[in-house]
Amino acid sequence: MSMTLRMLLPLVFTFVVVSSMISAQVATCTVSRDRIQLSCPNGWTVLTESENETTIGNYTRPPDTPKNVFGGPGKAWISFRTLPRLYRNLDEWIFAGTKNAPEAVRTSSTVRNNTFGEVKVTCLESPQKPGTLYYSCYFKLGKTAALLELTYGADDPRKAEYRSATLRTIETGAVAK
């Protein structure tokens, strides 16, 4: 083994070990509401939590940001809610969503959840227009109805990635411990 190689091996080993330690520390956040728990998309963090919802985003909020201020260029967030007391079931909640946003495009699909198997998802998506857009996905895990509502900028080049991340988040749902 050459002298140069013997000198470089410890440095390469140190770099690999430190890189592994850093990537292990970048854990995905987990959010829970009622009886269900979801894993955040990679790189997303909890922005706010309240009695009614938990909001995660693909950015970190500065500490001096007012509670009701979100977003900006390249920033997206997902609000996680469970069935409000106002509604008796998921169908009523979806019906209300369609009445509140009559221009929304409604789609239905099925995702494969790791714990519950096939889960029917009904999404309402705002029409493509300038400004802020939403993608609201209603679903039920076990007996718990929930909503993930994605909000993002219309001109954001990663919007398709955000919509996919929202559905992947439903796939991670489990019974809260």
Over residues 75-128, the pLDDT tens digits come to: 999 999 999 999 999 999 999 999 999 999 999 999 999 999 999 999 999 999
The arithmetic mean of pLDDT across residues 46-55, rounded, is 93
| pTM for the full predicted model | 0.82
Give the domains, in start order, of the chain with CATH numbers.
Answer: 28-175 (2.60.120.1690)
Is 108 in contact with 138 (CB distance < 8 Å)? no
* Residue 53 CB-density burial (10 A; 0-12 exposed, 13-18 middle, 19+ buried): middle
pLDDT > 90: what percent of the chain? Answer: 73
d(CA 177, CA 90): 23
